[in-house]
Chain A
């Protein structure tokens, strides 16, 4: 098993997580994915990357509020969490996109657990 598959499986082990996907922030490419297959994942990944870029730019070049850390989208059924990993240079980095089933998890606890496991994905 590849390093990334192993890392993403650790994210899948968090209660309620349906899928975990690594996305290239600069290109929107799906680098690796694990768990349930999302419909139209490549186009969704490209949109997520654009969203992260837009959210980052909202702050302006000096970023008084610091670097973008995560984006949360909450629907009645899901928590869609996008964590920024490895953003060493502006406009570059990797995104960890996690799809959580709210019926099977406490969203706050899932966010905490995913946040704790996220840094080890690239280790």
Chain B
């Protein structure tokens, strides 16, 4: 059985999520909002505003900075160890010169918006507010107003719905269009890296994790590449099982999936067929990945400009 078709109606954030978030904001909730669904996740609130979002559907800040090479692995590990002694992780990253304070704040805002976009256009079975003290490794300071995040998610959904490219983008597995791009051709703009990793098994989410980019930015570029005839959709990942109607609002259909995203690891997709290979620690490739991605390596070895 497959779940609901993604984005078949008007491009608006999931109403259950919107209502729960808006209610939480109205009462100044401090605590977490468990979002049960696919991909599901956890939204951390302080005084009714969002200080963090965790979901297996979008890369965390850790994945973004490590995969993109902004912060070296050993630097992150050292900051994390020091933060375990009681100092703030953000302060550790900044004082060690690993990242600027402004850049860190900007990246956190972008990561939170991306994660909320993923939740908003996903399938939400239930939202469960849990008031109480909140602990987030890298909290957004100052927090993001709920209204702004929902508006941004809606804008993104509208842009993607209006794009002629990728249909059913949340689950579309993509691969290079056969014979369109000769091996020696440099496309630039980050498209070479996407083409190299698009192996017919990965969804936009999987590519975002692999490259350390936001899911929306990755999906948007894939959609443009699709329109330009560079990519084709090979299949769609299966959706979540439909909840039984009588139980839908009474009992969670599944445990909160966000808990499985530890250290920035992408969780396996709910169908288990995944676009993503085995779990990775902090965004590092596994050995099996390295073998499977030989074609990617060959592509990346092609001569390119320094800007690429």
Contact = CB atoms under 8 A, between A and B. Distances in A.
B307 A4 contact: no
Interface in B205-221: 213-214, 216-217, 220-221
Q: Is the interface of B mostly helix, strand, loop or mixed?
A: helix
Interface residues of B, number: 37
A4 B189 contact: no
B142 interface: yes
Interface string A1-19: 0111001000000000000
Given A29-B113, A46-B155, A122 B106 contact: yes
A91 B189 contact: yes
B102 A67 contact: no
B110 A91 contact: no
A35 to B, nearest CB: 16
A32 B216 contact: no
B68 A63 contact: no
A62 B100 CA distance: 29
A122 B108 CA distance: 13
B106 A92 contact: no
Interface string B182-223: 000011111100000000000000000000011011001100
Nearest to B216: A27
A27 B305 contact: no
Interface residues of A, number: 33
A42 B152 contact: yes
A57 interface: yes
Given A22-B106, A27-B220, A122-B100, A61 B305 contact: yes
A22 to B, nearest CB: 6
Interface of A: 2-4, 7, 22, 24, 26-27, 29-32, 42-43, 46, 53, 56-57, 60-63, 67, 86, 88-92, 94, 121-123
Interface of B: 68-70, 100-106, 109-110, 113-114, 141-142, 151-152, 155-156, 159, 186-191, 213-214, 216-217, 220-221, 304-305, 307-308
16 contacts: A4-B105, A4-B106, A22-B106, A27-B216, A56-B189, A61-B187, A61-B307, A61-B308, A63-B307, A67-B307, A91-B191, A91-B217, A92-B68, A122-B102, A122-B106, A123-B101
Given A27-B110, A61-B186, 14 more contacts: A3-B101, A24-B217, A26-B213, A26-B214, A26-B217, A29-B152, A61-B188, A61-B308, A86-B103, A88-B69, A89-B190, A90-B188, A91-B190, A121-B102
In the A-B complex, the 4 residue pairs with the smallest Cβ-Cβ separation, listed nearest first, are A61-B188, A26-B217, A3-B101, A91-B190
